[in-house]
Amino acid sequence: MCRLLGKASKTHARCNQMITPLNPPQIRSPFAAYSHGVLAPAGARILFASGQLGVSPNDEIPESVEAQAVLCFENIKAILSAAGMDFQQVVRFSAFVTDRAYFPIYGAVRSRYVMGDAFASTLLIVSGFTLPQFKIEVEVTAVG
């Protein structure tokens, strides 16, 4: 049985469970649309998705970081769907980019797939990936 843990909780239609964002007043508000913590309900299924790179099924790697980010999110969408989940059930995003300038592009693409801020998020700037053409990688954790 689910119960409301906070007025900012979101209910996932498929599992009817509550995800509660946690933003304690003792610490600075998040820098963007995310929460400092996310509380998942007891007994929820957990999906850990590996990091997804901006590469198409036929091994094409677009030049643009935006196109690569879209591929990352489309890949994640397919993984979530295979688990019977969607982006509403993502509780954590971890993103890796090779240039600080890519942060707003990543954020804009993420906003196309995810509404609100009921998820934790980390963005790291890294020196590179397995192939030099890659500019972004995104991994998620979802509960449902």
Question: Which domain, by its residues, includes 91?
Answer: 45-143
Report whether 81 contacts 120 (CB < 8 A): no
pLDDT at 53: 97
Four-residue CA torsion sign, 113, 77, 36, 30: negative
Residue 73 has pLDDT above 80, yes or no: yes
Report pTM.
0.84
pLDDT band at 19 (very low <50, low <70, confident <90, very high): confident
Contact assessment for residue 66 and residue 110, using Cβ atoms and an 8 Å cutoff: no
In terms of pLDDT, which residue wins out, 41 or 75? 75
Q: Is residue 68 part of a domain?
A: yes
Number of domains comprising the chain: 1
Q: Is residue 56 part of a domain?
A: yes
**CATH code of residue 56:** 3.30.1330.40
Is 63 part of a structural domain of the chain?
Answer: yes
Task: Check pLDDT > 60 for residue 12.
Answer: no
Pure H helices in 49-142 = 65-82, 103-113
Does residue 132 belong to any structural domain of this protein?
A: yes
List the one residue out of 107, 112, 141, 130 whose CA is nearest residue 55.
130
Taking only the tens place, the pLDDT of each residue in 92-120 is 999 999 999 999 999 999 999 999 999 99
